[in-house]
Amino acid sequence: MQMQRIEGITDVLRAVKAARRGGRRIGLVPTMGALHRGHAALIERAAGDGCFTVVSIFVNPTQFGPNEDLARYPRPLESDLQVAMAAGADVVFTPATAEVYPPGFDTWVEVGGELTARLCGASRPGHFRGVATIVLKLFNMTEPDRAYFGEKDYQQLQVIRRLTRDLDLPLEVVPVPTVREEDGLAMSSRNKYLSSEARAVAPWLYKALKTAAEAAAASERNAGIIRRHALEVIASQPAFQIDYLEIVDGDSLRPLDELQPGAMMLAAVRLGGTRLIDNIRL
């Protein structure tokens, strides 16, 4: 079947219900567009799982802060459609902002506690409220059995898992491993903002994370010592400005003093005007 592009909420729900009547499970891949190989991996996973695969493309204004890059966020729709089709999408859903947030809209979803208060939540107030709200709306619009999210945005992944659990949503959240460039840089739509000089420095973030993982693999359990190993690598590149570099519990994201099973190192840095995030399991 040829891939469809659908703009209206009523229309996408009709397509989903028809697929379900035909015995298909529904897989949702929520994106903000500017699709790359990381997004393609999500779509391929959903299609490979046998799902009727819906890829949403919606640049969500409610997750951007007042000084962030909403206006210049890339919107290459034609190339996005090609990526989605090549990866196996059945539907690309491109709702208009006015339909998603009609006049008078004022209902919000918030996941509370440390899961959203720290890390990206501390430097991007309101970000996860916008994420949780749009994700729940997309779940309602497309009624998926499975929803696919990349592990690069690890805090976002945990927020969505908590949202799904706390609200008893009848779907499975499927994490998909981070896709990287050959030099280790995590794929991101924002990488295209990097100057050539910044792009040459950017892979050092992953080198720092790998250094931490190597220390953990060598039986170091003290989180402070492991963190110092990573900081030394980042400090070797003065262009980096650290937002955070923390070792946390993989489920609750609470900071750890000693490693325990499932521990993660999460990082966010600024390089020029671009914010990069990444993580590694310790």
Under a CB-based contact definition with an 8 Å cutoff, are residues 46 and 145 in contact?
no
* Secondary structure of residue 21 in the 3-state scheme: helix
Residue 69 predicted with pLDDT over 90: no
Under a CB-based contact definition with an 8 Å cutoff, are residues 107 and 46 in contact?
no
Domain parsing of the chain, residue ranges: 4-176, 189-281
- The per-residue pLDDT for 66 is 84
CA distance 170 to 25: 12
CA distance 84 to 97: 21
CA distance 126 to 137: 17
CA distance 198 to 218: 31
Same fold, 4-176 and 189-281: no
Percent of the chain with pLDDT over 70: 100
Could you please report the per-residue DSSP string of 116-135?
A: HHSTHHHHSTTHHHHHHHHH
Measured CA distances, 75 to 29, 53, 91, 198, 262 (Å):
17, 21, 18, 22, 36
165: left (phi over 0), alpha (psi -120 to 50) or beta: alpha
The model's pLDDT over 180-223, given as tens digits with 9 standing for 90+, comes to 999 999 999 999 999 999 999 999 999 999 999 999 999 999 99
Helix or strand (DSSP H, E) at 265:
strand 264-271
Structural fold of domain 4-176: Rossmann fold (3.40.50)
Average pLDDT, the chain: 97
One-letter amino acid identity for 174?
V
Helix or strand (DSSP H, E) at 204:
helix 204-217
Q: Which positions are annotated as active-site residues? A: 39
The model's pLDDT over 40-61, given as tens digits with 9 standing for 90+, comes to 999 999 999 999 999 999 999 9
The model's pLDDT over 101-140, given as tens digits with 9 standing for 90+, comes to 999 999 999 999 889 999 999 999 999 999 999 999 999 9
Q: Please state the φ and ψ torsions of residue 148, each to the nearest 5 degrees.
A: -110, 130
67 — pLDDT class (breaks 50, 70, 90)? confident
Which CATH number describes the domain made up of 189-281? 3.30.1300.10
Residue 1 predicted with pLDDT over 80: no
Instruction: Specify the range with the lowest mean pLDDT, choosing from 48-62, 64-78, 249-263.
Output: 64-78
- The per-residue pLDDT for 65 is 86
- The structure tokens listed for 23 are 């015995």
Helix or strand (DSSP H, E) at 106:
none
Q: Please state the φ and ψ torsions of residue 204, each to the nearest 5 degrees.
A: -65, -20
